[in-house]
């Protein structure tokens, strides 16, 4: 499922607001340890086959998470930034816990912008089923982060998740594909 025109318009509006309201960033932007809070929206397409036959459904959920990470520029005052990040949060639809680890490579734009790509792995614990057989999968995405005054920055991000795992029965095959968009407030130390 691809996000609609309303979602795209909201993302463009949020990015425009970030650019218009920011102040000059410090030279240390996008370097060192950071923490953050993230809120977003996830759409998961679920399809498979059971004894009853094929099925398809789409699940929607808010995503809330805490973030901790570290970034370092490649070379002195280089425009390339590499980093590692961990996140822990929840899909609010059924209180599913979501954990993730990712690496990123970014390119500084001027003094206050960072465009980046991200690759990592995520785990989704199905709290409702409590079967201990959650999902896990590869995460690919990217985004834009804009530095503000006082070590704060704002981020907009898109992620695609290819979920695997879950309970397996001999007569059951299920595939989960997820898309997430999120905004975060980041504080760098």
* Torsion on CA atoms 11, 12, 18, 21, rounded to nearest 10: -130
Taking only the tens place, the pLDDT of each residue in 49-79 is 666 667 777 888 899 999 999 999 998 777 9
Taking only the tens place, the pLDDT of each residue in 107-140 is 999 889 999 999 999 988 865 554 556 788 999 9
* Torsion on CA atoms 73, 79, 85, 90, rounded to nearest 10: 160
Q: Which domains does the chain have, with CATH numbers?
A: 5-188 (2.40.160.20)
Which pTM was predicted?
0.76
């Amino acid at each position: 499922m691809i996000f609609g025109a309303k979602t795209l318009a909201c993302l463009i509006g949020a990015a425009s607001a970030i650019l218009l309201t920011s102040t000059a960033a410090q030279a240390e932007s996008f370097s060192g340890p950071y923490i953050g809070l993230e809120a977003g929206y996830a759409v998961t397409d679920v399809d498979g086959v059971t004894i009853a036959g094929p099925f398809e459904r789409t699940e929607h959920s808010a995503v809330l998470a805490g973030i901790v990470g570290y970034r370092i520029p490649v070379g002195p005052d280089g425009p390339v930034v590499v980093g590692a990040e961990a996140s822990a949060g929840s899909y609010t639809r059924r209180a599913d816990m979501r954990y993730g680890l990712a690496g990123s490579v970014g390119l500084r734009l001027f003094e206050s912008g960072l465009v980046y790509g991200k690759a990592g792995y995520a785990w989704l614990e199905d709290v409702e089923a409590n079967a201990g057989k959650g999902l896990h999968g590869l995460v690919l995405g990217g985004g834009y982060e804009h530095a503000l005054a006082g070590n704060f920055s704002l981020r907009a991000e898109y992620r695609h998740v290819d979920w695997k795992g879950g309970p397996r029965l001999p007569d059951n095959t299920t595939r989960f594909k997820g898309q997430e968009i999120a905004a975060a407030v980041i504080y760098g130390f």
